[in-house]
Amino acid sequence: MAATFRSLRYRNARLFFSGLMLSNIGTWMQFTATAILVDRLTGRTTAIGVLTALQFLPMLFLGAWAGAVADQRDRRRLSMMTQGGLAIQAVALAVFDLTGTINLGIIYVLTFVLGVISAIDNPARRGFVTELVPEEDMANAISLNTATMTGSRIFGPAIAALLVGPIGTGWLFTINAVSFLAILGSLFLLDESELHRAPLAEKGGTPIRDGLRFVRDTPALFAPFVVFAIVATFGFNHNVVFPRMSREIWGDEFWFGIVLTTLSIGSMLGSLLTAGRRVVTLRWMVANGLLLGIAALALAWSGRVWLALVLAVPLGLGGAGFVTSMNAITQQLCPPDMRGRILALTAVAFLGSYPIGGPITGLVGDYVGLEWSLGYGALISLSAVFALIWWALGRDAHESRFDVLRNLLGASTPVAPSPSEHP
């Protein structure tokens, strides 16, 4: 336990993660309420898929640029600006809903605005996490950041499920707007003298291409990154599927929030298990990817809500462990002045893939079947992870790139590539 939460020895980390937890509870309340509202207005899985696409489309196009911006600027100040913008978006959504003027078009526009602000916020806020603690605790802080984000998902959807009937979606949006005071307050109260600031990247040049070249030319990152992008595209579309499964299979929209809550319990466990590891290896990432795919495949045809609640725990555990592992591995291997860009590229691969996977999942749900809308992604994810295992282990041991991956799969410490190992 002491190793898992070692980053909380630092006051700045305690302040930041406390504010982030409270704010993200409100954020997940809003996400859940928005999906329920769109389902009420349309009754179609495709509409929720479009909502997901609009939320994450800006990340696909702006994410890499936003990572370069985060590397060149004060990440704390940039995070305060973006969090303020997200609060204004929540206020606008609440006003339209409470005044009875909300419609699908307004929801789509405000969701796109949310996506633009989040694309800039993501690398700035996640990059700033690495400045809260010394270098030796960086992987732990990154894992605790994911645990905080997933832990808030335990409470947010459950609160939304309980309150959406009595008070309506508009007041849930209002609560989210108020919750941003927590993260803004924590950022304001941080002791700047205790921050471990990374050197700012120089402005100009080709920062995005430099980041892409680093991933391409680092054997320990390239293959995992490709597999991560594939699994992110097709294996994480639960928010598209669960609202419709709640109505059509589990019998009540109430179960959407409850299943998300149990999934989030698993997600927090996966993040904390990763946080407890001094060094995160590819073996750990692969194991979590396999768990994610198997659990999703089982949940797709579980049928009964009680079985879905049970299977949601390993689904969340595998998903969070898979994502947290990728984030930790990249930060263990990349130079400090490139962290924002590399984090942005992983965010583009993960969040930016939703505009592709979300609508496809919605179409599968409407025209093939709800079970297959979850099952097809599980099969693709499992295939990608098995391909990574084959790629790492099924080649001549004398080829340097495979040596690096073989070492990562079996070693307790990461192997940083030397210039001679570049392809």
In this prediction, residue 16 carries a pLDDT of 92
What is the DSSP secondary structure assignment for residue 325, as one 8-state letter?
A: H
**pLDDT, mean of each 10-residue run, the chain (423 residues):** 75 91 91 87 80 81 76 86 94 94 92 91 84 80 78 80 87 94 93 79 67 78 86 84 82 78 84 77 87 92 88 90 84 71 75 74 84 90 89 53 49 39 33
d(CA 29, CA 148): 15
Write down the pLDDT at residue 25. 92
Structural domains of the chain, with CATH:
9-197+208-421 (1.20.1250.20)
Which among 318, 285, 24 is positioned nearest to 150, based on CA atoms? 24
173: nearest Cα among 243, 113, 98, 104 = 98
| Residue pair 312/259 in contact by the 8 Å Cβ criterion | yes
Provide the angle, in degrees to the nearest 10, between the axes of the packed helices 400-410 and 219-235: 70
Q: Measured between alpha carbons, how far is 230 from 357 in angstroms, rounded to an integer?
A: 10
pLDDT at 213: 82
Per-residue tokens: 171: 């007041």
323: CB partners within 8 A, 6+ apart = 146, 232, 350
- Return the pLDDT at 201: 64
Supply 239's token pair: 């928010």
Nearest to 280 by CA among 322, 327, 328: 328
